[in-house]
Amino acid sequence: MPRRTDIKSILIIGAGPIVIGQACEFDYSGTQACKALKEEGFRVILVNSNPATIMTDPELADATYIEPITPEVVAKIIAKERPDALLPTMGGQTALNTALSLRRMGVLERYNVEMIGADAHAIDKAEDRALFREAMNKIGLETPKSMLANATDVKNADRKTHEAERAALKAEKPENLDAALDALETRWNLGEGDRKQRYISHAMAIAAQALDHVGLPAIIRPSFTMGGTGGGIAYNRAEFYEIVQSGLDASPTTEVLIEESVLGWKEYEMEVVRDKADNCIIVCSIENIDPMGVHTGDSITVAPALTLTDKEYQMMRNASIAVLREIGVETGGSNVQFAVNPADGRLVVIEMNPRVSRSSALASKATGFPIAKIAAKLAVGYTLDELENDITGGATPASFEPSIDYVVTKIPRFAFEKFPGAEPVLTTAMKSVGEVMAIGRTFQESLQKALRGLETGLTGLDEIEIPGIGHGSTPANHADDRNAIRAALGTPTPDRLRMVAQAIRMGTSLEDVHAMCKIDPWFLEQIAGILAMEDRIREHGIPQDAANLRMLKAMGFSDARLASLVRKDVEEIQKIREKLDVHPVYKRIDTCAAEFASPTAYMYSTYETPFAGALANEAQVSSRKKVVILGGGPNRIGQGIE
């Protein structure tokens, strides 16, 4: 179907200032949406309070407002610009919450503004924990045992009082009705703080009952927050009440879901895109190396999922599509998160985001499929089969699910050193400030590249000291040292993967490591393979033939890592590599695993091994003069999106 002709202008709400859980991924999404909609001839109006973004560049929107993203301010912009539609799915939780507030205030109805991409009902159904649980039960999908703590009855009473006051004011027919209504809203807004405290007190009483139902440990998930803000895992009653209080305060709806613990389960995400004709595709599956209990934004993740059987993947794929249909996301991208019990295969739905998310940006970069751009065009009436895949130069439609012939690893970057009082323990509330993504032909290559990309001085799985470990020859055999290893591996921290590697170096069996950290055995075997090769390099030195050196490079060993293993200067390793003519080749990210020719110069480097046949370099080098532009690396405090 062609794009809609009844819409002329579209308002896009940005994500505002960068905060943990809501960073430059949403600038990427918003920029793509602005470009896509302008390309289609729509007038684009943008609201974003963050000037250090690409999307606020003057040429990207027809009207750009660098203003606070509050319902009151956006309402005034709507009154001035009179857009036909509002696209709330590109600005993270900020945009969604603002759009819902505008609807509740009656602004969208007053100015006849249609919400596109995801309507208010779908957003409520996905973000409201009770409605989401009911929706999953309806379609036969399991969610963790849980109970809501909120103040719905008290809020409903306040809402009725508010509506009665508005109705009475309208009945009086004052000379300036709009001014009188604005004054009423101002008075109600000023009383928001007192009402919030009343709601929290009421919800805390319900939380006490929920604790008896769910038990400890308990996971607390606030509604309508980004990055798990205000949530966490409670192991005792004191922690429980503290986290619930924080969650209720952070939730704009004063509501938390108190959930049974699924700690140690495997976590997966599916990036789904749907159009108004009910065509659905899975852009990418993502697997969290860290088990449940760590926010997905703080987890090391890989794409595609590597430890699922095809049967399990197809079940998860079908469940993801069923979730979108039931929630009512008519068009655009959504992220659905699952937990799987490795003991019995039990599958539960954790949550879904009815919008472009952090994971959407990762999936876009991992596959080459521009989720935000496609989602924007679907929101204005196109279907997936009508849109071309730009990566393949139109050889495939957007309805063609991406195929991946490489492995992508994402590792978060933390900044605990900037906050001396902060505890470097990872929970369900996101704490990372940035991330790196690396691409390789194998998981081992991808992982080691990602570790180097953090720009923290790592050359790979560098050695690390495990707190409390003695200095015996085989420390893993001593009871005290085993306890120290168990404590280090059982506590999610930014360095846990290196702790895992160190424990394996010390002789801890893979079975014991898995029991301590719950990381899937397949990933542990891959790490053990890297460590075994390190031992071989230390014993035998750098290979003096091209085939064996290329094999090391294909496992992700950098020149710097090899140099440190044999205690030589990196320049010596480089000379050996040059002498043996061992160089990387460049492969193309084309969404189709080289099934079709792709003109897009989106590349990654890799070392091919001899058994792969002749070396194939997909980079098409031109004779034109060239300039290399170096990026800033992962976001960190002091070096962000600017």
**What residue type is assigned to position 369 of the chain?**
F
Residue pLDDT, tens place only, 452-465:
999 999 999 999 99
Residue 221: beta bridge partners?
Answer: 257
- Tell me: pLDDT of 640 over 80: no
Q: In three state form, how does the secondary structure of 246-277 look?
A: HHHHHCCCCCEEEEECCCCCEEEEEEEEECCC
Residue pLDDT, tens place only, 570-611:
999 999 999 999 999 999 888 777 777 777 778 899 998 766
Angstrom distance (rounded) from CA 197 to CA 254: 9
Domain 9-116 in CATH 3.30.390.50? The answer is no
Q: What's the angle, vertex CA 61, arms to CA 55 and CA 63, rounded to 5?
A: 120
Q: What's the angle, vertex CA 139, arms to CA 136 and CA 141, rounded to 5?
A: 55
Q: In three state form, how does the secondary structure of 86-143 look?
A: EECCCCHHHHHHHHHHHHHCCHHHHCCCEECCCCHHHHHHHHCHHHHHHHHHHCCCCC
Residue pLDDT, tens place only, 115-161:
998 888 888 898 888 899 999 999 999 998 888 898 888 888 888 88
DSSP 364-416: HHHH---HHHHHHHHHTT--GGGSB-GGGTTSSBTTS--B-SSEEEEEEE--G
pLDDT recorded at residue 477 = 58
pLDDT level of residue 53 (50, 70, 90 thresholds) = confident
pLDDT recorded at residue 447 = 98
pLDDT recorded at residue 473 = 46
How is the chain split into domains, by residue range? 9-116, 145-260, 266-404
pLDDT recorded at residue 559 = 96
pLDDT recorded at residue 153 = 85
Query: Which of residues 261 and 317 earns the better pLDDT score?
Result: 317
Query: Which of residues 407 and 126 earns the better pLDDT score?
Result: 407
Angstrom distance (rounded) from CA 220 to CA 206: 13
Q: Please say whether the beta carbons of 346 and 358 come within 8 A.
A: no
Which pairing describes strands 585-588 and 280-288: parallel, antiparallel, or unpaired?
Answer: unpaired
pLDDT recorded at residue 392 = 78
Q: What's the angle, vertex CA 526, arms to CA 522 and CA 531, rounded to 5?
A: 140
From 3.30.470.20, 3.40.50.150, 3.40.50.1100, 3.40.50.11900, which CATH number describes the 266-404 domain? Answer: 3.30.470.20
- List the single range of 66-80, 93-107, 316-330, 416-430 with lowest mean pLDDT: 416-430
> Burial of 150 by CB count in 10 Å (0-12 exposed, 13-18 middle, 19+ buried)?
buried
- Tell me: pLDDT of 332 over 60: yes
Average pLDDT over residues 404-417: 92
Identical fold for domains 145-260 and 266-404, yes or no, is no
Mean pLDDT across the chain = 89
pLDDT recorded at residue 470 = 67
CB-based contacts of 360, cutoff 8 Å, min separation 6: 25, 29, 271, 333, 335, 371, 372
Residue pLDDT, tens place only, 462-521:
999 998 886 544 555 577 788 899 999 999 999 999 999 999 999 999 999 999 999 999
What tokens were used for 510? 């893979």
Helix (H, G, I), strand (E, B) or coil at 485: helix
pLDDT level of residue 448 (50, 70, 90 thresholds) = very high
Average pLDDT over residues 312-324: 95
From 1.10.1740.10, 3.30.1490.20, 3.30.1330.60, 3.90.260.10, which CATH number describes the 145-260 domain? Answer: 3.30.1490.20
What tokens were used for 210? 């929920």
- Tell me: pLDDT of 17 over 90: no
Average pLDDT over residues 433-450: 95
Angstrom distance (rounded) from CA 297 to CA 293: 12
Q: Looking up tokens 């293993």, which residue turns up?
A: 565
pTM of the model: 0.85
Query: Which of residues 271 and 231 earns the better pLDDT score?
Result: 271
Q: Please say whether the beta carbons of 256 and 234 come within 8 A.
A: no
Which pairing describes strands 43-47 and 9-13: parallel, antiparallel, or unpaired?
Answer: parallel
Angstrom distance (rounded) from CA 431 to CA 19: 10
Q: How many residues does the chain have?
A: 642
- CA pseudo-torsion sign 85, 88, 89, 91: positive
Residue pLDDT, tens place only, 514-558:
999 999 999 999 999 999 999 999 999 999 999 999 999 999 999
